[in-house]
A = this chain, B = another copy of it.
Amino acid sequence: MVSKNEIRLITSLAQKKYRNKHLLFVAEGEKLVYELLQSHFKVKKIYALKDLDLDLDKDQINRVTSSELKKISNLTTPNNVLGIFEIPAFRKPIDKGLQIVLDGIKDPGNLGTIIRLCDWFGVSQLICSKDTVDCYNPKVVQATMGSLARVNITYTDIESYLFNSKLSKYMTLMDGDNIYKQSLPKEAIIVMGNEANGIRESIQKLADYQIAIPNFGMESQAESLNVAMATAVFLSEFRRK
């Protein structure tokens, strides 16, 4: 049984202002919810079509019907389980290791993919400009496939963050130096820019190195690589040694 108030609360969490007000976010699907249950995220409530063998208080699990699940789900085809989790306080990033800084990424699918890439390539700190899409946006959460629990994500003023960091800053620009010809350090910050406009001028000024992926196309007319694909290639280059 889902009350009208619960439906109102849960559907409101599709919007950032209500997520920030309630400090809650939604994750859907058995696999994702189970991964988050095993992580540092604190669960508020689980809505499920069937009885689940979970180590939770009784009042944290709510058996629902398909039509009830449909009312609270963000998915076209709701997937058995929906979980409400608490948004944790952002942890301040530590000034070491390999990090990614995002300058104004707008597409939830791109951010979700970049979070998965950080998880795969062992990047534990992802620092986002304040106008980057919210990592608790339902589309981002679903795209991360659980990686959300393993990457430390912070939203901050990236200009002052970069200014104060001691790590080398690699900015990815269309006319940067060939990434394949660089000798890359183990610890560094890779900065990726907005889908349409790239990295802001004020941020570019803080670059130690400017890098790019050369175009191998015959006709060289290819669009620039999508930001998530470029991130995959850069992370692969930094990690391959």
Which residues in A have some Cβ–Cβ distance to B below 8 Å? 35, 109, 113, 116-117, 119-122, 124, 145-147, 150, 180, 213, 215-219, 221-223, 225-226, 228-229, 232-233, 236-237, 239-241
Contact = CB atoms under 8 A, between A and B. Distances in A.
A97 to B, nearest CB: 10
Contacts of A226: 113, 116
Given A180-B241, A236-B236, 8 more contacts: A119-B221, A119-B222, A121-B217, A150-B221, A213-B236, A216-B239, A233-B236, A236-B237
A117 to B, nearest CB: 6
* Copies in the assembly, this chain: 2
Nearest to A144: B223
Contact of A146 (B121, B223, B236): B223
B145 A223 contact: yes
B223 A116 contact: yes
B113 A229 contact: yes
Nearest to A239: B216
Contacts of A109: 109
15 contacts: A116-B225, A117-B225, A119-B217, A122-B217, A146-B223, A150-B217, A150-B218, A150-B221, A150-B222, A180-B241, A213-B236, A216-B239, A232-B232, A233-B233, A237-B240
A56 to B, nearest CB: 21
A237 B232 CA distance: 12
Contacts of A240: 180, 237
A122 B216 contact: yes
Contact of A217 (B120, B180, B233): B120
A27 to B, nearest CB: 14
A40 to B, nearest CB: 12
Nearest to A117: B229
Contacts of A221: 35, 119, 146, 150
A119 B232 CA distance: 17
Nearest to A233: B236
B229 A116 contact: yes
Contacts of A120: 213, 215-217, 222, 225
A101 B110 CA distance: 25
A236 B241 CA distance: 14
A122 to B, nearest CB: 4
B219 A150 contact: yes
